[in-house]
Chain A
Amino acid sequence: MSLHSLDAKRLLCPLPVIRTQDRVKQLKSGDQLEVSCTDPGVMQDIPAWCRINGHTIINTQENQGVYIIVLEVGKNE
């Protein structure tokens, strides 16, 4: 398992979701990805994307307008 990060700040949905999706494709099952965003819409959209694609949200938090989502990659098939 390894920890990766993705900066999706200043992008508006669905671009942060697309960047997350494209990054997750390169990772292995069990890897974690921390995505930083400024569009509050990601708090809805990234968890929804994870649910339908079999990945797990580990943590979400907001800090001064930056939304940080940590997800764990499920089976990438």
Chain B
Amino acid sequence: MSEPKKAVALISGGLDSMLAAKTILDQGIHVEGINFFTGFCVEGHTHAIRKKDNEKAKPKRNNALWAAEQLGIKLHIVDVIEEYKDVLLNPKHGYGANLNPCLDCKIFMVNKAKQWIEENGFDFIITGEVVGQRPMSQRRFAMPLVAERSGADDLLLRPLSARNLPETKPEREGWVDRSKLHDFGGRTRRPQIAMAEQFGFIDYAQPAGGCCFLTDKSYSQKLVDLWQARGARDYELDDVMLLKVGRHIRPKPHFKLIIAREEGEGRFMEGYKNDFISLHCSSHTGPLALIDGSPDAADLELAAAIIARYSKGKDEEQVEMAIRTKDGKESRIKTKPLTAEQLPKEWFI
């Protein structure tokens, strides 16, 4: 008897990739999952940073791991942070509504999966893409483009939309039965929800915007601001993470403040005190703030007055602020907290 065929499924942690994998598993194919960590994934970071809202809140989980466990398949998580920079900084097919280079991102990920199946002796690749479901990467013209530009060609099977698409090698060769694949299309989620019910998948992740922060308007604005301020379109993982936390306020082109919004963020930002000048209110309870840039003495006074506004002493005539340099030297200054009216809206990124 011939060996069962093997497929790798791109698992984002969302419902569609789960259903696609399940559809193929049910045809007796050996499926393993692969998940690419770009640094911008909604998974992980912010979950780890944010404090639990209340004690009853569900423990934060990694949805890709959760999906793989529901499916009973292995999951390989691949760090693509460095390689992904070129995708984000130079997307050949442009950006979506924000800084999301979805089409190039899909091509990149399917290409990585293609390399992976070659190295690991797998036969084909599956994704949860549905024709017409998302504006950029899942339009009808985009589906063959991803297959072609990624180099996966007819080894890329989209089980949820397969019957709306040309036959692929796994179908032609009879590894999978095309008649048992689906013909989902358009923006409706009804067929997926029905299928989830049928398989007993409950409690699956439903990210609003997409699988990563690049679809988020405010996040994208912060990234553009960072590039403008530095005069270069580049980033490190620490930049990516710090854009996910705190209020970002830029009073002057050469520095910005990152002010923790809650305890979890403050704890996370503590880890950056040796990389940035940091401030907190020493006379009242207040958040930790980091300064990104090169402020002079007058800038630090302005920063102190802004940060004081987010302390419990915001209505006082004067509060005391502690300023810590990167090498741990601390000094104190007195300041009058700014009022809401004194904080121009344009300063908020």
Contact = CB atoms under 8 A, between A and B. Distances in A.
Interface string B29-50: 0000001010001011101110
A12 to B, nearest CB: 5
A64 to B, nearest CB: 13
Chain A CB within 10 A, most for which of B48, B62, B78: B48
A14 B78 CA distance: 10
Nearest to B72: A52
B120 to A, nearest CB: 11
Which of B44, B60, B79 lies at the interface centre, i.e. has the most chain A CB atoms within 10 A of its CB? B44
Contacts of A4: none
Interface stretch (B63-71, B98-106, B227-235): B63-71
Given A13-B45, A18-B77, A53-B74, A41 B60 contact: yes
B344 interface: no
Q: Which of the four size classes fits the interface of chain A?
A: 10 to 19
B274 to A, nearest CB: 11
Contact of B65 (A10, A45, A54): A45
B307 interface: no
B37 A18 contact: yes
B43 A14 contact: yes
A75 to B, nearest CB: 11
A54 B73 CA distance: 10
Contact of B48 (A21, A40, A51, A52): A40
Interface in B56-103: 59-62, 64-66, 68-69, 72-79
A66 interface: no
Contacts of A39: 48
Contacts of A44: 59-62
Contacts of B44: 12-15, 41, 45
Contacts of A10: 271
Contacts of A15: 37, 44, 79
Contact of A48 (B37, B45, B47, B66): B66
Given A41-B60, A48-B62, A17 B77 contact: yes
Given A41-B60, A44-B60, A48-B62, A12 B77 contact: no
A48 B74 contact: no
B333 interface: no
B73 A52 contact: yes
Contacts of A21: 76-77
Contacts of B78: 18
B76 A17 contact: no
Interface of A: 10, 12-15, 17-18, 21, 39-41, 44-45, 48-49, 51-54
12 contacts: A14-B37, A14-B41, A14-B62, A14-B64, A14-B77, A17-B62, A41-B44, A41-B62, A48-B65, A48-B66, A51-B69, A52-B72
Given A18-B37, A48-B62, A52-B74, 8 more contacts: A10-B271, A12-B44, A12-B45, A14-B62, A41-B60, A48-B65, A49-B65, A52-B75
